[in-house]
Structure 1
Amino acid sequence: MNKFDLFYEEISKRYLDIIHINLSPSSSFRYRCEFGYKHNSYTMYDNQKNILYLKNFKYAANSIQKVMPDLLFEINRSLDLKDKLFQINFRSNDLNKIMVTLIYHKNISNKLIDLVKSLSKLLNINIILRSKNFINFTSSKFLESTIDEYKVYQTDNCFYQPNKYLLNKMITKVKQMIEFPNDLLELYCGIGTFTLPLSKYFNQILATESNREANKCLIKALEKNQIKNIHPARISSDEVVMLFDGKKFNRMHGKSLSSFNFSHVLVDPPRSGLTKEVIQILKEFKNIIYISCNPKTYFRDVDLLKEYKINKIEIFDQFPNTEHIEIVSLLSLR
């Protein structure tokens, strides 16, 4: 059985309506790619853990594919650029701007910084230079994108939804799931991919995220977009549980849970899913928007939320030709 048949077989135990599948083109869909560097090539591993040596990558966005061979050529013809280089990461955006991160296992010299500046100008890309306890960037540490009409920001080491074709469809689907909104609690909000577009629908949003870089990106976006009803808090999901138990956090910046009238909670956890403690606080809400990148942990968590039914659900083929599926769903009290 393919991944969709496997998903239907499992979901049919919990949901009987037809589920729409949002497909992606099978190439040129990735806004974000990470590679090793070895033997004058980009490297990555296949499913059997065999190392692959690449000059280009057909799944990367066209803007990334365009620059990959030129960047590799320039690196390979410079002993200083290639020495102790072990990782090359790419990010792109809706305007086809490119951010490249070069990561080294050595101290960074002024000569290397100058070479990277020249390389940045030659290829018209922003390059971030990293080694242990060191970072340097040729223009900015932030890559700016547009979601709906909102400016959003990412750095080279925070999460960003990878599929350029499905991102806006996922956001639209979440917006369509909202009925009778008051305030929203969001866990794992990241850089605000869903938070910012949802600010039009809710009176207030408490947006929680433990990653420092993602939190800085969200704050920068709030300032740029002049949004006042989103309250970012750099706290983890475990700390949100403590918050509901009455613990005070300075990182709440004076806001208390009692100042919110939550109608919805949105969770977008890592592949490991939700902890039992987080699941317990979700039971305080009438509506749970659950976004998942792992059907196995999604079904596990939904089964622990026995008081809720799956009200709406769609799946998104974020990574074509792989076993991965992204789920966007609304759980409502029975």
Structure 2
Amino acid sequence: MFSASANLTARRFASTRFFRSARAAASRGCRGVRLTAPRARLDVECRPESYSEELAEKIAIARSHFDDVCALPTQTETHESARTEFRMRAEFKVWHDGDRSYYAMSDSDRPKEPVEIADFPMASKKIRELMPALLREVTKTETLRRKLFQANFLTTTTGDAVVSLLYHRQLDDNWEREAEAMRARLGIDIIGRARKQKKVLAKDFVTEKVVVDGREFSYKQLEGSFTQPNAGIAAQMLEWARSVATNDSPDGEGSVDVSTRDLLELYCGNGHFTIALAPLFRKCLATEISKSSVAAAQVNMAANGVDNLVIARLSAEELSDALNGGREYTRLKDINLASYDLSTILVDPPRAGMGDEVSTFCAQFERIIYISCNPETLARDCRVLSKTHDVKRFAVFDQFPYTPHLESGVLLKKR
């Protein structure tokens, strides 16, 4: 079998040597040197002993994207992850070899060769407990095992769990009976998926509870929809977003009273950021294009007693058009846009970033809170935003330890 540990360890040392040489060149004044993350490949190893070094390398890469764009604060507000058991969701192929079945992932260099995953230390404690238990259950009977090709786990810090089983065949009443019995034994919710089929046993969501600044927030998280994968970091991101909404610096200097002003959020998803920020503002307006995410956000608003937030099912481009006096949108007919005093905008776009059009729209606001899962596109958008705004705070959030990926955030304030 493919030796993940040996290969990944060798690759990590090669990567470290590259970063060191690149940083050394940059320190000698070679401004043409651009630190670049290694290509993401299968990496399931946790390396607590080198965590700090690897994170420092990722931060150097993230900051390097801004070298010829705009000035960043000297201080990087660094939010570290738990070293193990930090992922609340995970997806595995289910591979069958004769009478034996096992979880597998694919290495990008050898995509047709499955890499067996006997354990996944990055996954939450609940996922690690469920992995062998679920495999034992589905391999007891051909009804549950036959043509099963994937298992997706979604869990919470409080032990809530839903598992989706994906099949290359249609699911019948026999499958439903045996899956329900398995669900009862494991104490979880089960979803069966096949082409044009979705069978939900109990429910298709989990409820996460997050304590932020001493207050507990509750979030309905739908199976199949985007959720923050690292719960510990998600809580830190909420705390940071609340902090930058009212402070220009991490030490509390330059405090801003936003209690009489309003917040706009684009790409709000299930209301993750908006609901935590809403208590700080007079009113909030948010947009989200996904119908299921809007429905989840409405549930989350009610669960958290948020009554000063309105969500419009529009794209960021459509709302910016409406706010700038463009066409009238049916989905805004019950929303009085003129009643909002929108001083702060929060954006958490996809990896592709916002682009010039939406960035130009955001430049109208006094304060911009930009959360990004791609520092490179964040820097690209800041090329537009920095024409009118200064970066007051810069933070990184290590959602995905031991990988090249790094979340980041900036607070931009109009000059």
Same fold (TM over 0.5): yes
- Structure 1 match to 2:87: 30
- Structure 2 match to 1:9: 64
TM-score (norm 1): 0.95
Query: 2 CA distance for matches of 1:84 and 1:233?
Result: 41
The answer as to whether partners of 1:58 and 1:65 remain within 8 angstroms in 2 is yes
Q: Which amino acid aligns with 2:62?
A: F
- Structure 1 match to 2:126: 63
2:231 aligned counterpart, secondary structure: coil
- Structure 2 match to 1:287: 367
Aligned length: 334
The answer as to whether partners of 1:157 and 1:213 remain within 8 angstroms in 2 is no
More deviation in 220-229 or 25-34? 220-229
More deviation in 227-236 or 291-300? 227-236
Structure 2: runs of 5 or more not aligned: 1-18, 20-56, 247-256
The answer as to whether partners of 1:32 and 1:91 remain within 8 angstroms in 2 is yes
- Structure 1 match to 2:31: none
Q: Which amino acid aligns with 1:262?
A: L
User: C-alpha displacement at 1:185, in angstroms?
Assistant: 0.7
- Structure 1 match to 2:400: 319
More deviation in 50-59 or 272-281? 50-59
2:159 aligned counterpart, secondary structure: coil
- Structure 2 match to 1:272: 352
1:178 aligned counterpart, secondary structure: helix
1:118 aligned counterpart, secondary structure: helix
Structure 1 42/155 Cα, relative in aligned 2: closer, same or farther at 3 Å? same
More deviation in 47-56 or 324-333? 47-56
User: C-alpha displacement at 1:315, in angstroms?
Assistant: 0.5
User: C-alpha displacement at 1:11, in angstroms?
Assistant: 3.9
- Structure 2 match to 1:185: 264
The answer as to whether partners of 2:75 and 2:394 remain within 8 angstroms in 1 is no
Q: Does 1:52 align with 2:115?
A: yes
What value does the CA root-mean-square deviation take over the aligned residues? 1.6
Query: 2 CA distance for matches of 1:107 and 1:272?
Result: 36
1:265 aligned counterpart, secondary structure: strand
Query: 1 CA distance for matches of 2:388 and 2:110?
Result: 42
TM-score (norm 2): 0.77
The answer as to whether partners of 2:166 and 2:192 remain within 8 angstroms in 1 is yes
Deviation readout 1:52-78 (Å, 9 max, x if unpaired): 222321110011101111101111222
Query: 2 CA distance for matches of 1:266 and 1:103?
Result: 36
Query: 2 CA distance for matches of 1:283 and 1:228?
Result: 28
The answer as to whether partners of 2:360 and 2:384 remain within 8 angstroms in 1 is no
Q: Does 1:308 align with 2:375?
A: no
Structure 1: runs of 5 or more not aligned: none
Query: 1 CA distance for matches of 2:295 and 2:118?
Result: 34
Match of residue 336, structure 2, among 235, 256, 264: 256
Query: 1 CA distance for matches of 2:58 and 2:110?
Result: 21
Query: 2 CA distance for matches of 1:90 and 1:253?
Result: 39
Q: Which amino acid aligns with 1:221?
A: N
Among all aligned residue pairs of Structure 1 and Structure 2, give the percentage whose two residues are the same amino acid.
31
User: C-alpha displacement at 1:226, in angstroms?
Assistant: 3.1
- Structure 2 match to 1:174: 241
- Structure 2 match to 1:206: 285
User: C-alpha displacement at 1:7, in angstroms?
Assistant: 2.3
Deviation readout 1:151-199 (Å, 9 max, x if unpaired): 2101111111111221111100110111332111101111111111111
The answer as to whether partners of 1:55 and 1:72 remain within 8 angstroms in 2 is no
Larger radius of gyration: 2
Q: Which amino acid aligns with 1:43?
A: A
Question: Which structure has more helix as a fraction of its residues?
Answer: 2
1:197 aligned counterpart, secondary structure: helix
Query: 1 CA distance for matches of 2:238 and 2:304?
Result: 18
- Structure 2 match to 1:159: 226
Structure 1 134/252 Cα, relative in aligned 2: closer, same or farther at 3 Å? farther
Query: 1 CA distance for matches of 2:106 and 2:164?
Result: 19
Structure 1 142/250 Cα, relative in aligned 2: closer, same or farther at 3 Å? farther
The answer as to whether partners of 1:263 and 1:286 remain within 8 angstroms in 2 is yes
Q: Which amino acid aligns with 1:241?
A: S
Query: 1 CA distance for matches of 2:123 and 2:141?
Result: 25
User: C-alpha displacement at 1:47, in angstroms?
Assistant: 4.8
Q: Which amino acid aligns with 2:223?
A: D
The answer as to whether partners of 2:154 and 2:163 remain within 8 angstroms in 1 is yes
Structure 1 9/222 Cα, relative in aligned 2: closer, same or farther at 3 Å? closer
Match of residue 139, structure 1, among 176, 182, 202: 202
